[in-house]
A and B are shown apart, each in its own frame.
Chain A
């Protein structure tokens, strides 16, 4: 019998408010030098005090509502005390025993159909600064600290141990990310905007906490590694130690972290500089936008998408918006070409949907709809556009590519003459065909395709070739 895997996640997401959680410093420091988005408050200078950014609380409440949580009318900020150079106050203002929201759920397309994953709690906290180690740990000369990140608002979302496989954990995260994007409270493309700690055990054994997972793909990798590691231990009859392990992204493994620094007693106590956070009445005023599940249903009913296409296309806010901008050319073509071709090409290049100019894609769909190019040429055009983007060039329009490369679908006459040429050149294959070897037909189709550089409609070509061969006989 297969052993049961039990996984629970703690997810830290940066909220994309304009200013920090407890001061008015701007959060948009991506293109700026270290320590340029700081003030006495987020540097933790003596005597400074936090003031709660109302917007951050609103964003967190949106998430609470979208995840069907109960929001507590009164929650409380606490101090989590520990020493670390990038934690300038030596405590993090977070929420401890009175979090903002509790007992929610998120439906996930799990391993055996749709499953409900319970959310334990959502709380608000500040991000610490960032340490930049110069040199390796052993020979390191010094560490630099950048406090631009200090005070960025985070929410921590904690799930119940309801996930049953690394794949399901990834699916949960994808769904959660999509939900956060739809709420417009989160920028998934910002580096470090989502960080995950995972608790994983094999039923009947001790659990292990894996920390430091900073990408979506990393979660599945880290957990898959852990499943294998823990199963091997169980198989050999060795006990699983209850411990904290670190995910080493580059090597795809987890390593035990026995460092004393990990064994903190955080000495939580209520933050005396902030009053209890009272939010009664706020949640009712929040209007949630359309969320992924609703949008998926709408794509099915409004555009006639297949369930699979609808799931794929609503899996990210920008992707869903992209689809809706292109669907007016042709619902079905747009759905197929976005989910089956474009996403693959984007993934291959590690691109997000932003890389594809909407107008170019609409142009491409029009050419396909008008039957002016073949699918093969369509894919070629996609690649040319994305390669240009990759090079940092302004991509040529599909119309212009078709013209320049002569990709326009060729007509019956042209196909006919190419067939005649090929049949003349490949007399052996023709003979094989007459001898009843059907592979010969495929070979001949390939030869004609090659000659016309993929510009012939495959169906038409097949039909014409058979006719030509039969006539010849």
Chain B
């Protein structure tokens, strides 16, 4: 039934940048369900900042395709969630609006970059949330906050209206406390869009089933090796055993291209970002520059003061990778490595139905713990391969280490979200 609701969360973890106190909603499968939306997704009439100073005050004149779909399904969109600026980060500390705290332990980060969406769900402010995942930005905070998050197959959800960070890698995806919630939300937002040339006509209409009898699961060595905290690896191994007890069969496998994955990811995403973020110049939206200067001086100033440090770092890295004389050594080589990752996945998926491993190599960091950018980048190692290959991946809670949640990551074949959702559902039902 169509209606209205009041939304006044006691947002102690700083999950939201903007809340919409009075929300009306229409009929539909999500009628009246409170949904939070990451602040890099355009919402008509509602400020959309990407957690950046450079977009402060920017009110999009149009809705992202997923927002139109959500509104049509009756969802009550109650607010815009905090994030790492433009999606660049793994902790939601890189926000011009302050960090989001992890509802499970407020001394820790919620993960990122969709940290606000994960925290809003984990804290119970909303039922469902929309995030975006460029290199793990849905799965990481889902794992750190103990909720479920799905990065769909590239092309299965329209990106129209998602403020681009790295177009070839990112997807909008659902986050919820349960697999069913993720599945319900995914069925609303998936499908082809005539405004996104990379979207594919593969709508998702599936009811999760816990039957995984005979499912073949690949267990890649690389997901349990160096750099992964042993307690996290053990917790995930136990979860895999649970899946086996439910009828699944495990097979050891290897993704040799993983050693190039992180470099390929960071070169690709920073290259695309350097181009995507060039339009933020203060001319058409965001805080302007009233000083009468030559245009390049005005541009330099607005971009120096409007972007945070991590964003500036990535823009510079990407600019360098695309520069004449370096293109072949960086961007092009990254694409070759990316193809190797794709090839590894398609080889492995000839023998197995899904791949399982930890979502993150560790539990949620304490605030300020990862001060070295390279250390931070390394923590994306287990999530970036799915983005490079375009395949779907889900993170589902599978226990705790030091009282903090651990995520089980299930990676599927292209457009085979149904299978990883069923597996996650089987696990969730099996342990509850």
Number of A residues with CB within 8 Å of any CB on chain B: 32
Q: B86's closest neighbor in chain A, by CB?
A: A46
Q: Which of these, B159, B162, B272, B299, contacts A83 with CB under 8 Å?
A: B299
Instruction: Please provide the chain B residues from 266 to 282 with a CB less than 8 Å away from any CB of chain A in the complex.
Output: 271-272, 274-275, 278-281
**0/1 string, B31-64, CB within 8 A of A gives 1:** 0000000001110000010100001001011101
B55 near A46 with CB under 8 A, answer: yes
With contact pairs A267-B323, A269-B322 given, residues A46 and B167 touching in the complex (Cβ less than 8 Å): no
Q: Which residue of A lies closest to B268 (CB)?
A: A272
Question: When chains A and B are docked, how far (Å) is the Cα of A268 from the Cα of B331?
Answer: 11
A105-158 CB contacts (< 8 Å) to partner B: 142-143, 145
Residues of B within 8 A of A43 (CB): 284
Minimum CB distance partner of B162 in chain A: A47
**Interface contact A47-B331, CB-CB below 8 Å:** no
Binary contact track B308-330/A, C-beta < 8 Å → 1, others 0: 00000000000100111001000
Q: Chain B's nearest CB lies how many Å from the CB of A271? A: 8
Residues A47 and B197 in contact, CB atoms below 8 Å apart:
no
B207 proximal to A (CB < 8 A) = no
The verdict on A227 contacting chain B, using a C-beta distance below 8 Å, is: no
Chain B residues whose C-beta falls within 8 Å of the C-beta of A49 in the assembled complex: 159-160, 195-198
Q: Are B163 and A91 in contact (CB under 8 A)?
A: no
A274 interfacial by beta-carbon distance below 8 Å: yes
Contact with A along B111-139 (1 / 0, CB 8 A): 00000000000000000000000000000
Instruction: Tell me if A446 is interfacial: C-beta within 8 Å of chain B.
Output: no
Interchain CB contact under 8 A, B161 and A90: no
Interface residues of A in 241-291 (CB under 8 A from B): 261, 265, 267-269, 272-275
With beta carbons under 8 angstroms apart, the residue of A89, A142, A273, A274 that contacts B279 is: A89
Report which of B60, B278, B299, B319 forms a contact with A91, defined as CB distance below 8 A.
Answer: B278
Contact of A265 among B58, B292, B324 (CB under 8 A): B324
Smallest Cβ-Cβ distance to B164: which chain A residue: A47
Cβ-defined contact, A267 with B324, below 8 A: yes
**With the chains together, A160 CA to B167 CA distance in Å?**
36
The yes or no answer to B350 lying at the interface (CB within 8 A) is no
A:23-47 near B, CB below 8 Å: 40, 43-47
| A48 interfacial contact with B, CB 8 Å | yes
Using Cβ atoms and an 8 Å threshold, which residues of chain B touch A45? 42, 60-62, 284-285
| B275 lies within 8 A of A85 (CB) | no
Q: For the complex, what is the distance from the CA of A267 to the CA of B55, rounded to whole Å? A: 25
Indicate if the CB atoms of A47 and B279 lie closer than 8 Å. Answer: no
Contact B281 A267 (CB under 8 A): no
Which of B194, B278, B292, B295 lies at the interface centre, i.e. has the most chain A CB atoms within 10 A of its CB? B278
A12 at the interface (CB under 8 A from B): no
Instruction: Tell me whether B187 is interfacial, beta carbon within 8 Å.
Output: no
**When chains A and B are docked, how far (Å) is the Cα of A355 from the Cα of B193?**
47
Tell me if A's interface is mostly helix, strand, loop or mixed: loop
Say which residue of A40, A44, A51, A81 sits within 8 Å of B194 (CB atoms): A51
Interface residues of A in 57-97 (CB under 8 A from B): 79, 81, 83-85, 88-91
Instruction: For B322, give its contact among A51, A143, A145, A267 (CB under 8 Å).
Output: A267
Chain B contact residue count (CB 8 A cutoff): 46
In the assembled complex, the Cα of A275 lies from the Cα of B192 at a distance in Å of 14
Nearest to B167 among chain A residues (CB) is A272
The chain B residue sitting closest to A83, CB to CB, is B299
CA distance A47 to B68 in the complex (A): 14
The verdict on B283 contacting chain A, using a C-beta distance below 8 Å, is: yes
**Contacts of B159 on A, CB cut-off 8 Å?**
49, 273
A458 close to B (CB within 8 Å): no
Residue of A nearest to B169 (CB): A272
Q: Which of A50, A51, A261 has the most B CB atoms < 10 Å from its CB?
A: A51
Given A145-B283, A267-B322, A269-B271, the answer on whether A40 and B61 have CB atoms closer than 8 Å is: yes
Tell whether, in the assembled complex, residue B278 and residue A90 are in contact, meaning their CB atoms are under 8 Å apart: yes
Closest Cβ of chain B to A360, distance in Å, is 50
- Asked if A440 is an interface residue, CB under 8 A from chain B, the answer is no
Distance, CA A88 to CA B161, complexed state (A):
16
Report if A269-B62 is in contact (Cβ < 8 Å); known contacts: A46-B163, A49-B197: no
Which parts of B321-365 form the interface with A (CB within 8 Å)? 322-324, 327, 331
Contacts of B322 in A (CB 8 A): 81, 267-269
Alpha-carbon distance A261/B196, docked complex (angstroms): 33
Q: Are the CB atoms of A83 and B278 closer together than 8 Å?
A: yes
- Beta-carbon contact of B272 and A46 below 8 Å: no
Once the chains bind, are B299 and A272 in contact (CB under 8 Å)? no
Given the interface pairs A51-B195, A273-B198, the reply to whether A81 lies near B284 with Cβ below 8 Å is no
A52 at the interface (CB under 8 A from B): yes
Residues of A within 8 A of B163 (CB): 46-47
**Binary B-proximity of A324-345 (CB < 8 A = 1, otherwise 0):** 0000000000000000000000
Q: In the complex the two chains form, is A50's CB within 8 Å of B295's CB?
A: no
Q: Which residues of A contact B195 (CB under 8 A)?
A: 49, 51
Tell whether B296 is near chain A: CB-to-CB under 8 Å: yes
* Contact, CB under 8 Å: A46 / B279: yes
Contacting residues of chain B (199-245) with chain A, CB-CB under 8 angstroms: none
| Pick from A47, A52, A83, A88: contact of B41, CB under 8 Å | A47
The answer to whether B275 and A267 touch across the interface, beta carbons within 8 angstroms, is: yes
Docked complex Cα distance between A268 and B311 (Å) = 21
* Interface of chain B residues 250 through 303 with chain A (CB within 8 A): 271-272, 274-275, 278-281, 283-285, 292, 295-296, 299
Q: Inside 8 A of A90's CB, which chain B residues have their CB?
A: 275, 278-279, 281
CB < 8 Å neighbour of B275 from A81, A88, A142: A81
If A46-B55, A267-B322, A267-B324 touch, whether A51 touches B42 (CB-CB below 8 Å) is no
Q: List 8 A-B contacts (CB under 8 A).
A: A46-B50, A47-B48, A85-B281, A91-B278, A267-B327, A268-B327, A269-B275, A272-B198
Given contacts A46-B164, A89-B278, 6 further A-B contacts (CB under 8 A): A46-B42, A47-B60, A90-B281, A142-B292, A267-B319, A273-B198
Top 6 nearest A-B pairs (CB, nearest first) are: A90-B278, A267-B322, A272-B167, A272-B168, A46-B163, A47-B42
